[in-house]
Structure 1
């Protein structure tokens, strides 16, 4: 169990790094958006490439930021029943959700998005807009993001099983492991 917990903490660190990168993409998108608006309205100059890079950065924000949101237990949850459960019950619900929903869906989406990325990469698919960008970098975010969510889901599963087996204490305000 200690080896699995070590691996889970390593995955947590990777997710944290990706989360920091995602935070920087928010800033970059905001700066590009402001600069693009200034140039467009101030000098009547526009570029589809600048608009598309904002979309790419938004995709990076979502796909690279999602694993850390799961790790911090800040994801969307319908809390009608969950909030009334004792910590052990919450962990059981989490395990059910991870095994039945998160892992199968993220695994399937990673699997299905990989060939789409590969096709775009091999054909050097470009945006149909004048001055548009090559599409594969944005498409790469899908299999990477879904795979990272899958891997972070495995880490969360390990931590919850470790809690149930007495190998890990957790604080149940947000189920974050105690340091």
Structure 2
């Protein structure tokens, strides 16, 4: 089972190594947009939307890796001072009853919008924008799948460990 967990971790780790470059590209494009607008008086809606697309892609596709690296937002009211055994129980509960069901619900409720967007190849958000809103909406189920895969990986590891005494 740990081999399955390693494979699932590898998916999010590999994807993170590729999409991390979007952060740099996004900053450079935004810098070029600002320079173009305020120095040269040139403006491009498509370029502005490309920053939105890159930011969305970076955020949505890196969420699974963020969970893997344990860098996600955690409400530490009880967790921070809990014993390792209690932390393990909280993690298992959170994955099984909060994270996985919410990702499944988000996938279920967003799917009709994604499907309809692909059916009509939904166009730009603004006139002159990028004609690929259908790709942007596809990030929602991709986000859910990547987070669910990482959650399953973490659950495998949690159940494989002996409970700390």
Task: Please tell me whether the aligned partners of residues 110 and 143 of structure 1 are also in contact (alpha carbons under 8 angstroms).
Answer: yes
My pick for the range that moved more, 124-133 or 99-108, is: 124-133
* Corresponding residue number in structure 2 for 1:113: 110
My pick for the range that moved more, 106-115 or 85-94, is: 106-115
Misfit runs of 4+, over 4 Å: none
Mapped partners of 1:28, 1:130: distance in 2? 24
* Cα deviations by residue, 1:61-80 (Å, 9 ceiling, x for unpaired): 11111101111111111112
Task: Please tell me whether the aligned partners of residues 88 and 164 of structure 1 are also in contact (alpha carbons under 8 angstroms).
Answer: no
* Corresponding residue number in structure 1 for 2:145: 147
Mapped partners of 1:69, 1:6: distance in 2? 20
Task: Give the TM-score of the pair, scaled to structure 2.
Answer: 0.92
Task: Please tell me whether the aligned partners of residues 49 and 132 of structure 1 are also in contact (alpha carbons under 8 angstroms).
Answer: yes
* Corresponding residue number in structure 2 for 1:174: none
TM-superposed CA distance for 1:113, in Å, is 2.1
Task: Give the TM-score of the pair, scaled to structure 1.
Answer: 0.86
Structure 2 residue 52 is matched with structure 1 residue 55: yes
State the superposition RMSD in angstroms. 1.5
* Corresponding residue number in structure 2 for 1:44: 41
Q: Which runs of 5+ in 2 are unaligned?
A: none
Mapped partners of 1:133, 1:121: distance in 2? 15
* Cα deviations by residue, 1:65-104 (Å, 9 ceiling, x for unpaired): 1101111111111112112222111111000000110000
Structure 2 residue 40 is matched with structure 1 residue 17: no
Mapped partners of 2:134, 2:148: distance in 1? 21
Q: Which runs of 5+ in 1 are unaligned?
A: 167-179
> Could you say which structure has the greater relative contact order, defined with CA pairs below 8 angstroms and 6 or more residues apart?
2
Task: Please tell me whether the aligned partners of residues 22 and 62 of structure 1 are also in contact (alpha carbons under 8 angstroms).
Answer: no
Q: Which residue, out of 85, 95, 100, partners 2:97?
A: 100
Mapped partners of 2:23, 2:126: distance in 1? 24
Residue-pair matches, total = 163
